[in-house]
Amino acid sequence: MSESVRSVSVDVPAKVNLLLRVGPRRPDGFHGLVTVFHAVGLVDRVTASDSDELSLSLHGPESRGLPAGPGNIAWRAAELLAAAHHRRPAVELSIEKRIPVAAGLAGGSADAAGALLACASLWELEGAELHSIATGLGSDVPFALRGGTALGTGRGEVLADVEVGASLHWVIAASSRQLSTPAVYAEFDRLHPQAATPDRSSATSVLDALRSGDLDRIARGLGNDLQEPALALAPELAATLRAGTEAGALAALVSGSGPTCVFLASGPEHAQTISDVVAASGTCRLAIPVQGGAPGAAAQTPHASR
Ligand code: C5P
């Protein structure tokens, strides 16, 4: 008689940056940031199942071309967690990918966070130090664990709570191209050789707006220092941004290092309308309405099955 396999699944959200202020490159190669992370309801599902050895399979609409071995950040997450707990990374990982890759949505970070949490749960690791392992994997991985809306400083790994007085609705417009995050930061350096280190006070206006829940104030407070370099590398994004603005979005901006564009809507129906109009404009690969403030990996009860 064969024993059934134990497995744990975790949904992990994509993020957009409501504010992204970038400073000069630091000696460690990263840039100091003041950012407001915002998780949205577009998720990858990471499943960890008992196995004799580490393996990874990728499924779903956005999985094409991704490495299914040590080159995948989820694989490294399982290895690092196992090493930190002096055990073999004996787990079968399976990822259902819906978050576009190299898109400024932290999809790889989501998969790493999902793998950390699913493995920690499968291996019943009490008090696992997920945050420090997450930081070692990537600047956005700690936020993918946490979700919601958070102020990020340092290189994005130092997180603090942000109060949001309204439920926010967005449209995500995915591009048919990818942008490399290091390439966009390098273009930022080229365009701004004298960039000043951003101060937390640069987030005051958007944080106040978010607390108030006033959508027009929120729209005015959004900003992204990586938008200019992303547009320099992918000038066609200007047409996507314009399509969203013409469709009636309260605000239009590039998400993180791009090339995904995001549009603020006044509610779920408005988001659906903007999404339909932007999709029909032919200026993007895919437009999806999503709600903001989605829970992070660690905020969920993993789904277990035997
Ligand atoms: O931390 P993560 O692996 O996601 O970063 C990918 C790349 O993006 C880094 O190697 C670096 O080139 C750039 N980056 C940066 N400053 C940050 C975050 C990322 O320069 N705060």
Ligand 1 pocket check for 155: Cβ under 6 Å: yes
Look at residue 303 in the predicted model and tell me its pLDDT.
73
Ligand 1 pocket test target in 185, 187, 189, 192 with most atoms within 8 Å of CB:
185
Q: State pTM to two decimals.
A: 0.96
**Mean pLDDT, 10 residues at a time, over the chain (306 residues)?**
79 98 97 98 97 97 96 98 96 98 97 97 88 96 97 97 98 97 98 97 98 98 98 98 98 98 98 98 98 89 71
Ligand 1 pocket check for 37: Cβ under 6 Å: no
Q: Tell me the C-alpha distance between 43 and 294, whole Å.
A: 9
Atom of ligand 1 nearest to the CA of 155: 21
Look at residue 1 in the predicted model and tell me its pLDDT.
45
Look at residue 3 in the predicted model and tell me its pLDDT.
62
Provide the token pair at 31: 């840039």
Closest CA to 110 of 296, 299, 292: 296
Q: What is the DSSP letter of 3?
A: P
The residues, any chain, with a CB within 8 Å of residue 234's CB and separated by 6 or more, are 175, 177, 179, 258, 259
Instruction: Give the pairing type, strands 303-305 and 7-25.
Output: antiparallel
Distance 168 CA to ligand 1 centre (A): 27
Provide the token pair at 155: 């290189």
Amino acid at 32: G
Q: Tell me the C-alpha distance between 174 and 197, whole Å.
A: 30
Look at residue 30 in the predicted model and tell me its pLDDT.
98
Distance 189 CA to ligand 1 centre (A): 13
Distance 100 CA to ligand 1 centre (A): 18
Look at residue 304 in the predicted model and tell me its pLDDT.
72
Closest CA to 122 of 80, 86, 84, 93: 93
Task: Give the residue numbers annotated as catalytic, written as ranges.
Answer: 15, 140
Q: Tell me the C-alpha distance between 241 and 225, whole Å.
A: 15
DSSP string, 213-226: T-HHHHHHH-EETT
Closest CA to 33 of 143, 131, 136, 168: 143
How many degrees, rounded to 5, is the angle at CA 167 between CA 218 and CA 34? 45
Distance 31 CA to ligand 1 centre (A): 7
Residues across the chain? 306
DSSP bridge pairs for 49: 7, 92
Atom of ligand 1 nearest to the CA of 257: 8
Q: Tell me the C-alpha distance between 78 and 115, whole Å.
A: 6
Look at residue 52 in the predicted model and tell me its pLDDT.
96
